[in-house]
Amino acid sequence: MANEPALLDAPPEPPGTDRRPAGPDYRPALLLGSVFVIATCGLIYELIAGTLASYLLGDSVTQFSTIIGAYLFSMGIGSWLSRFLDAPLLRWFIRLEILVGLVGGFSAPLLFVLFEYVTSFRIILYALVGLTGVLVGLEIPLLMRILENRFEFKELVSRVFTFDYIGALLASLIFPLVLVPQLGLIRTALLFGLLNVAVAAVVLYRFRETRPYRRGLLTAVVLSSAALLACFAYAERVQVYTETLAFQDQVIYSKSTPYQRIVLTRNARELRLFLNGNLQFSSLDEYRYHEALVHPAMQALPQARRVLVLGGGDGLAVRELLKYPRLQSIRLVDLDPGMTELFRRNELLLRLNQRSLLQPKVQVISADAYQWVRQDTARYDLLVIDFPDPSNYSIGKLYSTAFYRELDKLLAPGGRLVVQSTSPYLARRSFWCIAHTLQAAGFHTIPYHLYVPSFGEWGYVLAGRNAHWRPDAGPLPPGLRYVTPQSIRQMLTFPPDMAELPTDVNQLNNQALVRYFEEDWGPYTH
């Protein structure tokens, strides 16, 4: 290998052996052109990593700055490593371009996919940034060495860095203005991966010196381009692109399970979860919602040992329940394993629910709630009912007298249940319909509400077979941010614009609630 003729500084070939017409040697110019392309690609990868990190992890200043730092540092490592590469340098350069194309090109799709599965997402992120940086860091030193005998040193440095910085300028302009809005992050990464591979292909084709090893590298070029192209064509581009426009904030995760579409968005301040387009929580104020869901009931159940949570696959209600050491078992039944898996795996979400779904006391079951309650034979001290709002007939069944009668069978003596009951302000009839339905099923009810900034006024109905409940019946766990005996008392008061009004009872054969809900919310959605 070491005896192969060195590139460009090889002795001129005898006349006539070159099939191409004689003329000026354009090959250095070609290599300088590739400096421009690889510089653009390099900066694009850096921008993608920075953007992705701030999308997925939030806090864009920190993310951008640490990503840029890590990237530049890795480039430094790459530059240093370049000294260990020996002739034939052109072969190394082509290999390098293919590698950069693959690593950089697949970086964005890989990070999007891994976001769900990897607990320590940061490690993967920085490993990928580091790897890309090292590879990109190798490129320029290698090229300068390839070109060193063609130009004077001052000429070489001047030309290479001119093209390098022009490429950087171009990248920094087209990335926010053209690429992200038009292609999205995933396809941008894949496109620039393809450009790197294209540089490899052109060099391979144009430089006759590559003949001895052309076949292997050509195969690599073809396979990598095919992989990148395939990924480009089948990337979930439509959904990611449109959802980014449909939600106010950046979509950082989206998945269609057989049951629903789960979307996570984030901005500088908060993380939001949407199911089928409906906000389920904002990380900023979900504590209000979940504290109010759990504590008014739990503080009055000093003997409670077993709890069943229906819905609530985000584990946030369970997080609140775990604040009571007296509970021996918490069983959560959610329809969608896609939800509970996400909230058991993802680092950000685990931080939010404090790993609640991974606690030994907690049993997570993927089942349809209605089917489950009909066959469950256990008895519970508290049932926490955290279903989506009754916006369609199949969810409406989970708010019916028939369903509440099934719940009655699951209650231990003195047990209670609490039902998230939509907004008593925006959907006043819906809220009171839920309360009246619980009454029709034989329960004493205690309706209450509070203000959750991202939802508005939100309501719950606490229900039991007897009326013995007090807002200050027992101690509350330390560290609550909203619920106190005083705030519970406030929650019990309904001003006139939310006051009780007569409604039908929601039965399977009239689905009164779904109709109220449609009418109540209709004016706000059309």
Partner 1 sequence: MTTANKLLLVPPLLGERGLGGEVPRRRFLQQAALGAVGLLLGSSGLPACAPAASRAHIKGSMRGADFSLGHLLRQPGQLPAPTRTEQVGVLIIGGGVAGLSAKRWLYRHGRTDVLLLELEQGLGGNAAGGQNPVSAYPWGAHYLPVPDARNTELLAFLREAGVITGTDETSGLPVYNEYHLCHDPEERLLIHGHWQQGLVPELGVPAADKAQIQRFFRLVEAMKQAQGADGRDAFCIPLDRSSTDEQFRRLDQLSFADYLAAEGYTSLYLRWYLDYCCQDDYGAPAARVSAWAGLHYFAARKGRAHNAEAADVLTWPEGNAFLVQQLQRGVDRGGIRAATLVYELRETAAGVEALAYDAVTRQTTRILARQVLLATPHFVARRLLAGWADAPALQPYHAPWLIANLTVDGLPQGPGQPLCWDNVRYGSRAVGYIDANHQDLGRDVGQPRVITFYWPLTEAEPDAARRQAYQTSYDQWLQRLLAELETTHPGVTRHVQQAELWVWGHGMVAPTPGYLWGPDEARQRAAQPLRNRVFFAHTDLSGVSIFEEAFYQGIRAATEILAAV
Residues identified as active-site: 386
- In the numeric block, the tokens 């708010």 are attached to 399
- Using CB under 8 A as the binding rule, whether residue 74 contacts partner 1 is answered as no
In contact, 33 and 201? CB cutoff 8 Å? no
428 binds partner 1 (CB under 8 A): no
Q: Has 290 been labeled as part of a binding site?
A: yes
Report whether 164 belongs to an annotated binding site: no
* Contact positions with partner 1 (CB under 8 A) in 343-382: 368, 370-371, 374
Q: Indicate the DSSP class of residue 175.
A: I
CA atoms within 13 A on the CB side of 260: 21
Which positions ≥6 away from 186 have C-beta within 8 Å? 108, 109, 112, 235, 236, 237, 240
- The angle, 0 to 180 degrees and rounded to 10, between the axes of the packed helices 337-345 and 89-117 is 120
The DSSP code sequence of 339-387 is HHHHHHH-HHHHHHHTTGGGSTTEEEEES-HHHHHHH----EEEEEEEP
Which of 68, 279, 358, 365: binder of partner 1 (CB under 8 A)?
A: 279
Binding of partner 1 by 423 (CB under 8 A): yes
Smallest gap from residue 168 Cβ to partner 1 (A): 33
- For the chain, the maximum distance between any two Cα atoms, rounded to a whole number of angstroms, is 105
Site for partner 1 in 298-337 (CB under 8 A): 335
Phi-psi map region of 300: left, alpha, beta (phi>0 left; psi -120 to 50 alpha): alpha
Does 181 bind partner 1 (CB under 8 A)? Our answer is no
Shortest Cβ 370–partner 1 spacing (Å) = 4
Q: Looking only at residues 479 through 518 of this chain, which bind partner 1 when binding is defined by CB under 8 A?
A: 507-511, 514
Q: Is 334 annotated as a binding residue?
A: yes
- Residues 333, 308: Cα–Cα separation, whole Å: 8
- Binding of partner 1 at residue 525 (CB under 8 A)? yes
End-to-end, the C-alpha distance of the chain in Å comes to: 72
Helices 180-206 and 214-234: crossing angle in degrees, nearest 10, is 170
175 touches partner 1 by CB under 8 A: no
Residues in 189-248 that interact with partner 1 by CB under 8 A: 238-239, 241-243, 245-248
386 forms part of the interface with partner 1 (CB under 8 A): no
Cβ neighbours, 10 Å, residue 11: 7
CB of 525 to partner 1, least distance (A): 5
Q: How far is the CB of 269 from partner 1 (least distance, A)?
A: 14
Question: Which residue from 76, 216, 456, 495 is in contact with partner 1, where contact means CB under 8 A?
Answer: 456
Residues forming contacts to partner 1 in the complex (CB under 8 A) are 238-239, 241-243, 245-248, 258-259, 274, 276-280, 335, 368, 370-371, 374, 389, 391-397, 400-402, 422-423, 426-427, 454-456, 458, 507-511, 514, 521-522, 524-526
Binding-site residue set for spermidine: 290, 314
